[in-house]
Structure 1
Amino acid sequence: METNTATATTASLASVTLEVADTEAAHRFYAAFGVDGHIRLRESEAPSTGFRGFTLALTVSRPATVDHFLDTAVKAGATVLKPAAKSLWGYGGVVQAPDGTIWKAATPAKKDTGPATAEIDEIVLLLGVEDVKASKQFYVGRGLTVARSFGGKYAEFESADGPVKFALYKRRGLAKDLGVPADGTGSHRVILGGTAGAFTDPDGFEWEPAKTP
């Protein structure tokens, strides 16, 4: 595993904007889900089919809290892609929001040590890319600093004060983990705001200059 120390000038992800067909409906869903303070919404009719190549993953403290978020999402209109279950790494499940965005909720804990809460420890934006090593070097060239890297499988970048962490994962591996086919066409339906300016990465993910709320 590679690690690096961030500097004061490190570029980072500052915001995540989901492109949705109906912003009012999406606002209602994400307010109910409890993540509306972590994302932004923008109206878009850009065509998109299949896997959009990314997920937003909630890390929480215990299984009961995983169940809370997944159950809340389903009651608000989400579709279950992978029911919550135990695994070697902990406990988690996957849902798809009405706007098509895939969300994962997970915890490294396998047993509850208390009741469910609505607290989120962290949110990570995982981009599914064809070549993790090449994409990692692309982002390093844009001023981002690698926090953790596992060969050609995963790379996580240092974050500043943004509400969401940023990481890269092999596209097919990410789709398999989410329980969906890896194929997809059209828009990713997500815009990333950052301090590195405007650009499009090798997998077609668009970045724009960070804006204040």
Structure 2
Amino acid sequence: MDDRISLITLGVRDVAASARFYAALGLPRLDFPGDEVAFFSLRGTWLSLYGREALAEDAQVSAKGSGFRDVALAHNVGSEDEVDQLLTEAVAAGATLVKAGQRAFWGGYSGYFADPDGHLWEVAHNPMLWIGPPASEP
């Protein structure tokens, strides 16, 4: 297996509504026919939004279940102020603030929001690891 993630797919209740949310955060949406799926181009990977029921059916697993999903996506930024700014932008776009930005035990600063389907996103600044955004693949 290559040491990269090619695509992250989130199962969502309403693809169009979730696509508007991520577009409001400034993610560049790819032009793709139909309304069953939405794709956003990220640096070195893509984010896909697909109907929750359809995604479960495709994977041949039950779509039932709720609560914590044992995973959080993360977006690292260059400063504490940027953490707070992005959390504010996410809430303005329709997210729920789960945890306001605060100093973390590991020496950085982070907070969490949940997208309209409850997917957790951590927004963090880690001054020990920050080297800027990852380079795009050729």
Please tell me the TM-score bracket, short chain as reference: 0.5 to 0.7
Which structure has the bigger radius of gyration?
1
Aligned to 1:13: 5
Paired amino acid for 2:133: D
Picking from 56, 70, 79, the partner of 1:53 is 70
Q: Which runs of 5+ in 2 are unaligned?
A: 28-39, 54-62
Secondary structure (helix, strand or coil) at the match of 1:13 reads coil
Corresponding residue for 1:29? 21
Say whether 1:72 aligns with 2:89: yes
Q: Which runs of 4+ in 1 moved over 3 A?
A: 9-12
Q: Does 1:41 align with 2:49?
A: yes
SS in structure 2 opposite 1:85? strand
After superposition, the C-alpha distances for 1:153-181 in whole angstroms (9 at most, x for unaligned) are: xxxxxxx95xxxxxxxxxxxxxxxxxxxx
Residue in 2 that maps onto 1:167? none
- CA shift at 1:105, angstroms? 0.3
User: Which structure has the higher relative contact order (CA within 8 Å, separation 6+)?
Assistant: 1
Read off the aligned partner of 2:2 and give its amino acid letter: T
**1:62 aligned residue:** 79
**Between 89-98 and 34-43, the greater mean CA deviation after superposition:** 34-43
Residue identity opposite 1:22 in structure 2: D
Who is 2:133 aligned against? Answer: 121
Percent identity for Structure 1 against Structure 2: 36
Paired residues of 1:58 and 1:121 also in contact (CA < 8 A)? no
In 1, Cα distance between equivalents of 2:124 and 2:4:
24
CA distance in 2, matches of 1:94, 1:50: 15
- Is the strand fraction higher in 1 or 2? 1
- 1:83 aligns with 100
What secondary structure is seen at the aligned counterpart in 2 of 1:121?
Answer: coil
TM-aligned CA deviation for residue 10 of structure 1:
3.2
Q: Tell me how large the CA RMSD over aligned residues is.
A: 2.4
Unaligned runs of 5+ residues in structure 1 are: 1-8, 110-119, 123-159, 162-213
Cα deviation, residue 11, structure 1: 5.2
2:114 pairs with 1:102 = no
Counterpart-to-counterpart distance in 2, 1:53 and 1:95: 15
Distance 1:91 1:20, change over 3 A: same
The alpha-carbon distance between structure 1 residues 11 and 104, as it changes in their structure 2 partners (threshold 3 A), is: closer
Change over 3 Å in CA distance of 1:11–1:93 after alignment to 2:
closer
Q: What TM-score results when the alignment is normalised by the length of structure 1?
A: 0.45
* Number of equivalent positions: 107
